[in-house]
Amino acid sequence: MKKCQNCKQQFEPRFNTLEKFCWNHECKTIDALQKLEKINKNKSREWSQQKKRIQNSLKTSSNWKNELQKIFNLFIRLRDKNQPCISCGKKLPEKYDAGHFHSVGSSPSLRFDERNVHAQCVHCNRDKHGNVHEYRIGLIQRVGIDIVNDLEKNRHVPSHLSTPEIIDFIELYKIKIKKMKNN
């Protein structure tokens, strides 16, 4: 004998021992509604997954780059959260940017180069247009003159990331972010 999950009455299962409800009309209605809810959740989950696949298939290379830029910037912010502003050396405020030494427009090949991007206060990055002279000084102190020279040497090297490469970078930075958040 089993106990009905709704009315708490003892009942004898008719078809299998996994039955949770007795054969009272009200109890079987609750059972049917729970099963229907489970089916609808599964359909909703499947639709969400299918919709995501469709949306991803419709993304352009530019859409993928923008997504990568958001994830990359988050990685830079997390990586440098305990560092001062690369340009002015002041403690970073609550909100700060991932500032590029060589801008994305002038040096697209360095857009996702971690050596070229560092935490920067909003004032230096936006109001002072990157505060580039001070950024260079801070960059030399942080990573060394050899890396700064390498960045300057490679700033005009053409670079084209394919969509699969961009997607791989997105996954890579998601993993890096997850590791940083877990530490």
Cβ contacts of 140 within 8 Å, gap of 6 or more: 148
pTM over 0.85: no
State which H helix or E strand residue 10 sits in: strand 10-11
Q: What is the pLDDT of residues 138-167, one digit of tens each?
A: 999 999 999 999 999 999 998 889 999 999
Q: What is the pLDDT of residues 31-80, one digit of tens each?
A: 999 999 999 999 999 999 999 999 999 999 999 999 999 999 999 999 99
